Structure formats: structure tokens, C-alpha cells
């Protein structure tokens, strides 16, 4: 239904001083701190986890060399969604408006809505990180204590005992990241790079990451996390995370979090011949997801 003069009655009256409600600043592009962006030219993208080889054994003199097999472990699929929104304004509403151009004002509102949707969808991957109803390619949720591997031993990218963000839990998470192995059980050198958390934990994070000494103690001890440069990219607040005490550490794992951009945002407008209404539309296609669970370590809080 088109926006008509009946819905804009105050805007058509002399003496109006200000129009407000569409000019708020917004939290924008927060997904860029989490995802690597790639382009796509198909309906979906798939990424396949490959296994390497096991630890090389000792070969006895005169004996034959041992052979090993590499294989595919699992496949992660990114199915692109189409996000679109439109509005229409009657010819009379545009014709009778005395102030700002309606089209320009509501086009900004349209961009705001499209941006909000993108941030909500990006954050949903972490909001569902501990929910088994949203499995990844390896049939497990993003953060779990039992990600299956070809080598047999389970991979754990979640604390054994869930804990709130504090010095002890953060240090343990970094220790556990350093213990990550590949699909065949070989050690991999991954490091926690950035702490990702909701707005409720930003003050706790700042005390943990930025103080020279240990937090909450009278001892003259250094802040080991800061001193060792263990989380070199610091912390970032994502305002679209819904769990107030869940927190995550993004690692430097390649091919972890991915955003595939199938069709960048496009806007268009057209006038309807019969009604004279002017229609405005915004549309884009993309997908968010993860391929390798080693890209993150998380805790849902205590």
C-alpha cells in the first residue's frame, strides 16, 4: 500500500518546525570484525574440509614405506538469501509536500532497514553458536565440546565448564586454543586474535585487556594477557548479540567465518503509470556462516 497524504497530514501543514525519527546514528558494518567477505556467482557456495596425513612413523631398515590416505572430512554450505524491502508514495503526497523531499527521507529509512537486517543475520551465527538446532558442516553447533574429527579425537572449542568472562576463563580459553589440532590430530599453531562480546561485557573486557596489572587484586602482578600480546586485536562489541554473558574469541584460522556476497545492494525506483505512485526498492543477496570451527572459541557464560 502506498504512503498517502492521510499518513503524512502533519507534514502538509504550515508551521511545522522539524521532522524526526529517521536520523538516528546506527551501529553499522559490525559484521566486518567477524567475517571475511568473498563474492559469489551462484545460488550457494560449498567449502570442503580436507584432511592431511597422520604423524609420520619410523621406517625400519629394509622395510617398505608406510602409505597414508587423505580425504574429505565434511562440507559447509552457504545458501544465499534475498533481502528486499520497498515502499510507495502516492503522486498527490509528493505533489503537495511543502518541506523535505519525501523520497530522499524515506530512502534513508530504507537503507537503515536493510543495514539492520544484515547486522542481525550476521550476529545470528554467534547467537546460535551453542544451539544444537543449528549445526554446521560437521553436524555440530559452532561452539561445542565434541566436534568430530577424522583422527578420532573430538575437537573442543568451548570451555569444558561454562564460565563468565574473567581473567581465569579468558586465560583458559587461550590455553585451549593453543591446544587445537587438525583433522588428523596434528597440532596447529592458532592464536586468539579478537574478543567479541555483547555490550554488557565491554567494561569487563576493557579492564581485562587494557590494564597494566591484574584486575581485582592488590598483588603487584602484571596483566599477563596484555603483556604477552595474547589477543593482539583487542576486543570488539557487537550490539546485535542477544546473550548478555556469552563471549567469543576469534582466532587466525583461515576459512573460518565467511560472508558470501552474491549481489550487492541495489536500489531502484519507478513510477506506476495507472496510479502515478512512485515506488522505491532495495535488494541484495548474501549469506553468513562458518566453515572451520577452529575459527572461534566461545563460552555461553556461567
Q: Residue 40 corresponds to which cell in the numbers above?
A: 559469489
* Mean pLDDT value across the chain: 88
Does residue 78 belong to any structural domain of this protein? no
Q: 20-24, 203-207, 262-266, 288-292: which range is least confident on average?
A: 20-24
Give the total number of structural domains in the chain.
1
Half-sphere exposure for 30 (CA within 13 Å, toward CB)? 25
Residue 119 and residue 30 in contact, taking contact as beta carbons nearer than 8 Å: yes
Does residue 12 belong to any structural domain of this protein? no
- Residues 141 and 300: their CA atoms lie apart, in Å, by 13
- Residues 150 and 48: their CA atoms lie apart, in Å, by 13
What pLDDT is recorded for position 18? 44
Strand, coil or helix: what is 191? coil
pLDDT band at 13 (very low <50, low <70, confident <90, very high): very low
Instruction: Give the neighbor-by-neighbor strand order of the sheet with 192-197.
Output: 235-237, 192-197, 247-251, 296-299
State which of 24-38, 90-104, 288-302 shows the largest mean pLDDT: 288-302
Give the residue numbers spanning the domain of 229.
84-299
Residues in CB range of 146: below 8 A, 6 or more apart: 140, 154, 156
- Residues 248 and 191: their CA atoms lie apart, in Å, by 13
Q: Above 70 in pLDDT, residue 8?
A: no
Residue 164 and residue 245 in contact, taking contact as beta carbons nearer than 8 Å: yes
pTM of the model: 0.86
Query: What per-residue string of b and e applies to 186-209 under the rule 16 or more CB within 10 Å gives b?
Result: eeeebbbbbbbbbebbeebbeebb
- Residues 242 and 257: their CA atoms lie apart, in Å, by 19
- Residues 36 and 65: their CA atoms lie apart, in Å, by 41
Q: 3-state SS string over 20-44?
A: CCCCCCCCCCHHHHCCEEEECCCCE
3-class SS shares of the chain: helix, strand, coil, % to 5 = 25, 25, 50
Does residue 266 belong to any structural domain of this protein? yes
What pLDDT is recorded for position 232? 96
Counting residues of the chain whose pLDDT is more than 70, the rounded percentage is 89
Does residue 5 belong to any structural domain of this protein? no
CA dist list (Å): 102 to 14, 87, 105, 127, 269? 16, 11, 5, 37, 13
Q: What is the pLDDT of residues 14-43, one digit of tens each?
A: 443 444 445 556 777 899 999 999 999 999
Does residue 189 belong to any structural domain of this protein? yes
Does residue 67 belong to any structural domain of this protein? no
Does residue 25 belong to any structural domain of this protein? no
Does residue 71 belong to any structural domain of this protein? no
Amino acid at each position: 500500500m502506498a504512503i498517502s497524504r492521510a499518513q503524512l497530514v502533519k507534514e502538509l501543514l504550515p508551521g511545522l518546525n522539524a521532522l524526526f525519527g529517521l536520523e538516528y546514528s546506527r551501529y553499522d558494518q559490525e559484521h566486518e570484525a567477524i567475517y571475511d567477505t568473498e563474492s559469489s556467482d551462484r545460488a550457494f557456495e560449498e567449502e570442503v574440509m580436507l584432511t592431511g596425513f597422520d604423524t609420520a612413523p619410523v621406517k625400519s631398515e629394509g622395510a617398505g614405506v608406510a602409505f597414508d590416505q587423505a580425504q574429505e572430512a565434511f562440507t559447509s554450505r552457504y545458501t544465499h538469501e534475498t533481502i528486499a524491502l520497498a515502499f510507495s508514495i502516492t503522486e498527490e503526497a509528493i505533489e503537495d509536500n511543502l518541506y523535505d523531499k519525501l523520497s530522499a527521507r524515506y530512502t534513508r529509512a530504507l537503507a537503515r532497514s536493510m543495514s539492520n537486517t544484515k547486522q542481525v543475520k550476521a550476529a545470528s551465527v554467534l547467537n546460535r553458536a551453542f544451539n544444537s538446532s543449528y549445526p554446521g558442516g560437521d553436524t555440530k553447533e559452532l561452539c561445542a565440546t565434541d566436534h568430530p574429527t577424522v583422527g578420532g579425537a573430538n575437537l573442543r572449542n568451548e570451555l569444558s565448564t561454562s564460565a563468565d568472562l574473567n581473567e581465569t576463563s579468558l586465560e583458559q580459553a587461550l590455553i585451549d586454543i593453543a591446544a587445537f589440532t587438525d583433522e588428523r590430530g596434528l597440532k596447529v599453531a592458532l592464536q586468539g586474535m579478537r574478543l567479541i562480546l555483547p555490550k554488557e561485557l565491554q567494561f569487563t573486557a576493557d579492564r581485562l585487556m587494557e590494564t597494566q596489572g591484574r584486575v581485582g587484586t592488590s598483588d603487584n602482578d602484571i596483566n599477563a594477557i596484555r603483556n604477552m600480546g595474547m589477543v593482539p586485536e583487542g576486543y570488539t562489541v557487537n550490539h546485535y548479540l542477544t546473550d548478555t554473558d556469552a563471549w567469543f574469541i576469534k582466532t587466525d584460522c583461515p576459512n573460518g567465518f565467511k560472508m558470501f556476497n552474491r549481489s550487492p545492494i541495489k536500489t531502484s525506483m519507478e513510477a506506476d503509470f495507472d496510479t502515478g505512485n512512485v515506488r522505491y526498492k532495495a535488494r541484495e543477496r548474501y549469506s553468513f556462516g562458518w566453515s572451520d570451527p577452529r575459527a572461534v572459541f566461545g563460552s555461553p557464560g556461567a
